[in-house]
Amino acid sequence: MIPSVAKRSAKPAKPAEPAPNPRLRRPEEHDATVKFVVACIDYYRWVIPYEWCAAGARRRGGKLPQSFIALYAAAWLGILTLVFVFVPDIANARLLFRIIFAGLPIWCISEVMRWWLSVLLNRHHNLFASLERNLIYVFVNLAEVFLAGAVLLRMASPGHPARRALFDSFFLSTQLNTARQASLLHDAAQVLTVSASLVLLAGGLAVLIGGKASYYYEDEHEGPWVLPVPGQPMPWSDEAKAIAKAKAHKKRLTTTL
């Protein structure tokens, strides 16, 4: 049997495009200011050692192990702790050394701000780790901001006691209070610490709340607590929900027929 001309000339149907995921932000950004900020954040990543290590791993066809993030954060915490302990010795060093050691906490704070600003502003930043790991990252980054702020406060005011610098930085990084005014550099350290913690808390809450919302769905309220009936599952149990779903499906099929 010779196929018809219509069948011979028929073109294969194009596969249907997958529906866009409503939970993902569209990659297009139409605001010029946001585009500029995101571009600056993307370019700044190349002065961060972690990004160089990640790029090297991708070049070799792999990726960094999950433990590398913990080691990187622990290294920052160790460096900041050492700098905080030796601040009195650094204050008596040459100007160049003081600038270098003051740049370390500023660099750490800028890394934290870059990451969480990217979470908030970059539309391509749609994939995250688990909620539990993100919660740990929030506290680890907050500890970095806390130590970095303590270093800056102590270096900005050489006579500032170590204990007072730690308490002031804690209240600044948790948005509870501001420290006493001592000097212009001291105030600048306060502003930097508060700004970093604000960006960190905003980004952390956005990720945690947004991720937690995926576990909830709209449904009727299950009502007050009731006493269990022997031989029957509780109304809010998975078994009861499965039974109710099966009954609804059976009713829908009966109505259709």
Residues with Cβ within 8 Å of residue 102, at least 6 apart in sequence: 151, 152, 155
Identify whether the C-beta of residue 188 lies closer than 8 Å to the C-beta of residue 221: no
Q: Evaluate whether residue 2 is within a structural domain.
A: no
CA atoms within a 13 Å half-sphere pointing along the CA-CB vector of 107: 16
How far apart are the C-alpha atoms of 248 and 2, rounded to whole Å?
Answer: 50
* Structural domain contains residue 183: yes
Domain-located, residue 19: no
Determine the pLDDT at residue 175.
Answer: 76
pLDDT at 200: 80
Give the tens place of pLDDT for each residue, 151-186: 988 888 777 788 888 888 888 887 777 666 667 777
What pLDDT shows up at residue 82? 93
Query: Would 87 be classed as within a structural domain?
Result: yes
**How many angstroms separate the CA atoms of 103 and 200, rounded?**
20
Answer yes or no: is 27 within a domain.
no
Tell me if 147 is assigned to some domain. yes
- Distance CA(48)–CA(61), nearest Å, equals 21
Domain limits for position 79: 32-213
* Cα distances (Å, whole numbers) of residue 2 to 5, 7, 8, 12, 227: 9, 10, 10, 19, 73
Per DSSP, the three-state class of 96 is helix
Total Cβ atoms within 10 A of residue 233:
14
Number of domains in the chain: 1
206-234 confidence digits (pLDDT tens): 777 766 666 555 555 455 555 556 666 66
- pLDDT at position 206, please? 76
Q: Is the pTM of this model over 0.85?
A: no
* Positions in the chain whose pLDDT score sits under 50: 1-7, 221
* Distance, CA of 22 to CA of 40 (rounded, Å): 28
Do the domain assignments include residue 218? no
- Whole-angstrom distance, CA of residue 57 vs CA of residue 107: 23
24 within a domain of the structure (yes/no): no
Cβ-proximal residues to 168 (8 Å cutoff; 6+ apart), any chain: 149, 150, 153, 179, 180, 190
**What SS3 class is residue 176?**
coil
| CB 169, CB 147: distance < 8 Å | yes
Question: Whose CA is closest to 212, among 155, 121, 128, 91?
Answer: 128
Cα–Cα distance list, 154 to 104, 138, 142, 184 (Å): 14, 24, 18, 13
d(CA 45, CA 71): 19
